[in-house]
Structure 1
């Protein structure tokens, strides 16, 4: 059976023009797994309020991170594809959940190579309905529509894979060598309601005391638990004392409660607690993008220094680093060896 690999990441606007950013925001926020509210309310909110008002500001932010090659997230993902192609004997393609290159274009490229079975690697270490789950659903929905006979095998979240932990820490060598006062692990935030929605039991996540610390089947789908697990494993492997590291969540939208504590609040509070030199990780992202380069690297740094901090070091994402390519190659090898199930 002919097999192929599909790498799926979030996506990016086609350019920094306001019209392209507005189009991207509309597609992204119209996803019911991202903005999980009443469809009529979602349509009105996205098309009449969020997209028109946020697009100009977001366009300016994208201009801060755009390179001569285009969107960092897109160009990095393309480089990862090329590096994997050099190592593998089966086709490798890229698709974005939103924007271009589309998920469908990646699938069609594999079909054109005669692929009958697709190994999907969602480029998200952690499970969340607004990232991992929607990427998988989009691929399956597209296959159901254009190629229903194609078999799909999906790489599970890898938030606690020791090789992933080692790869992230390898990127932090220079930053940790500065002997920071504090290390902050900042993960992309999600609404608390989405954590509850992905709990199969419907009665555990964010409903029980210390729910993330007590083993439970819901943890396979719990973004919050998985983020805490990644942070703990990184801290332990780096030899950080418990008092020298913490977890926060960034990029919230709207007034509903999101996972706490909020990164921007933490960055303003740390200097008041005596933290002058800090290192910040963004382990939920495997490729540098708007949320890492601009939100953490620029806005976050400004907030920390303005509050009295002195040194601020952002750890780069995995990007196209060799340990990350090694891990992706291992995922594919495990798949080809039959060590993954549908």
Structure 2
């Protein structure tokens, strides 16, 4: 019997600093998020970050928390429920960090008699700290607890024409009645060293303007290339002039170099250069979350206004919009019907 496990990032159980601290501990101690030796990682996370950041993060979560709970969890459940209406196999939901866990999701499917699972990381682009950590953990749990269960994984869909169509439609709908001077594609940032570590050729990645547009096997696992390619394909579909859009990266942490240009500095620069009407879309996420609702829609807008900007539009993530539900359902049904 076949079944599906949808996996998103996760969220604290509440905005209480204790719950936020527990969530951050699990998240930041993941060796694919902070890829340092365990002792050094523990020193940084448990000795420094968890003594200062939970309170600040809890305040940020309080700004965006819904009556039903965490927006990311609520939206993910809505997506699960809608997909369930379009498919005839069990659909379980899990989070990489927090609840419900991947262990919970696999157990739920196993108890329903599922022996073949389609693992669906809800990330368009591949990265160590997103897709890879989900796949590795799911396969570890499967090997340990369900040796007779088979796991297939949905590949990154950053350049899938159906995904690009849905993303483009969402942007068009959000901006069709608005005048805007610039559209910024803001992706979640990762340390530059993650890009180099993911280079299976050990030689292609230069982190310059050329390597991401030069064909290479490295692109299969290159987050930077996949982000720029998503931007290019959407811009092509929407016929955007080159001077009307750009790509940036948000949410850097620590002092190591992360992917650039940085979103906050980019928004600041556009305001200072006289851009009055700006829109931001966040294609690294399919569900609205802290990074989109607070970091972009609140902090980003504040930066823009402080630097002379006037109208700031944040385009919602795909969430549970009908064409996205239909697209995911189609992918699932295609997998189910494979010989």
Question: Normalized against structure 2, the TM-score is what?
Answer: 0.98
TM-aligned CA deviation for residue 235 of structure 1: 1.1
TM-aligned CA deviation for residue 338 of structure 1: 2.1
Distance 2:105 2:207 in 1: 40
TM-aligned CA deviation for residue 315 of structure 1: 0.4
The 1:313/1:207 distance shift into structure 2, 3 A limit, reads closer
Q: Map 1:209-228 onto structure 2 (within 5 A).
A: 210-228=210-228
Contact 2:187 2:283 in 1 (8 A): yes
TM-aligned CA deviation for residue 326 of structure 1: 1.0
SS of 1:212 mapped into structure 2: helix
SS of 1:319 mapped into structure 2: coil
Contact 1:6 1:94 in 2 (8 A): yes
Distance 1:335 1:37 in 2: 37
RMSD, aligned CA: 1.1
The 1:318/1:208 distance shift into structure 2, 3 A limit, reads closer
Distance 2:134 2:331 in 1: 18
Q: Corresponding residue for 2:323?
A: 323
Contact 1:282 1:317 in 2 (8 A): yes
SS of 1:180 mapped into structure 2: coil
- 1:8-57 deviation line (CA, Å, top 9, x unaligned): 01100000000000000000000000000121100111101111200000
Distance 2:85 2:197 in 1: 40
Distance 1:296 1:58 in 2: 15
> Which ranges of structure 2 fall in alignment gaps of 5 or more residues?
none
Distance 1:81 1:329 in 2: 10
Moved more, 316-325 or 161-170: 161-170
> In the alignment, is residue 4 of structure 1 matched against residue 41 of structure 2?
no
Question: Normalized against structure 1, the TM-score is what?
Answer: 0.97
Distance 2:232 2:70 in 1: 31
Q: Map 1:45-60 onto structure 2 (within 5 A).
A: 45-60=44-59
Q: Map 1:43-192 onto structure 2 (within 5 A).
A: 43-172=42-171, 173-192=173-192
SS of 2:18 mapped into structure 1: helix
Distance 1:224 1:207 in 2: 8
The 1:123/1:207 distance shift into structure 2, 3 A limit, reads closer
Q: Corresponding residue for 1:292?
A: 292
Distance 1:108 1:190 in 2: 31
Distance 2:168 2:207 in 1: 33
TM-aligned CA deviation for residue 208 of structure 1: 6.7
Distance 2:206 2:194 in 1: 10
SS of 1:11 mapped into structure 2: strand
Moved more, 285-294 or 156-165: 156-165
Moved more, 175-184 or 209-218: 175-184
Q: Map 1:29-44 onto structure 2 (within 5 A).
A: 29-44=28-43
> Which ranges of structure 1 fall in alignment gaps of 5 or more residues?
none
TM-aligned CA deviation for residue 176 of structure 1: 4.4
The 1:234/1:290 distance shift into structure 2, 3 A limit, reads same
Contact 2:86 2:326 in 1 (8 A): no
Distance 2:225 2:206 in 1: 10
Q: Map 1:225-264 onto structure 2 (within 5 A).
A: 225-264=225-264
TM-aligned CA deviation for residue 174 of structure 1: 2.8
- 1:66-125 deviation line (CA, Å, top 9, x unaligned): 101100000111111111111111000001100001111111000010001101110000
- 1:143-183 deviation line (CA, Å, top 9, x unaligned): 11111210000000000111111211222213243131101
Distance 1:257 1:186 in 2: 17
SS of 2:204 mapped into structure 1: coil
